[in-house]
Amino acid sequence: MSDRIRTVRDLKVYKAAFYCAMEIFEISKTFPSDEKYSLTDQIRRSSRSVCSNLSEAWRKRKYKKVFVNKLSDSMQEAAETQTWLEFCLSCNYISEDDFKKLDREYENIIGLLNAMDFKADKFCF
C-alpha cells in the first residue's frame, strides 16, 4: 500500500476539513429555525468551501500562483468558519467543548494549508 497522494482526497488536510464540515453540518441541524438563512447557511457554506477551494487548488497545480491563491482562499474560509463558530458559542448553539475542539481543528487545517503554501513547488508541476 502506497502513501502516494493521487487525489485531493488523499491529503491529510482535505480529510480533516471534510470531517469538520460534516461535524458542523450535524451540529447545525440543532440550530434554531430562525438562523436557517443566516448563521446555519453561512457556517455550512464556509466550512464546505475549505474543501472546495482546496480541490480547485489541487486541479490548478500546473499554475503555481493560482495554486497558492486557491490555498489562500481555503485558509480564509477556514478562518471565516472559526468566526462563525465563535458566534455559535456566544449564542449558546454549541458547547464550549465543541467550540474548542473545532477551533483547534481549524487551527490545524490552517497550519497544514500554510505548510502547503510554503512548499508549493513540491505540489506543482
Structural domain includes residue 101: yes
Structural domain includes residue 69: yes
**Average pLDDT, whole number, for the chain?**
96
Structural domain includes residue 4: no
Query: Per-residue confidence at 4, pLDDT binned at 50, 70, 90?
Result: confident
Looking at residue 114, which CATH number applies to its domain?
Answer: 1.20.1440.60
Task: Tell me the C-alpha to C-alpha distance, in Å, between residue 29 and each of 9, 44, 104, 125.
Answer: 25, 10, 22, 41
- Express each pLDDT in 46-90 by its tens digit: 999 999 999 999 999 999 999 999 999 999 999 999 999 999 999
Structural domain includes residue 2: no
Domains: count for the chain: 1
Query: Per-residue confidence at 5, pLDDT binned at 50, 70, 90?
Result: confident
Structural domain includes residue 83: yes
Domain that holds residue 72: 9-123
Structural domain includes residue 112: yes
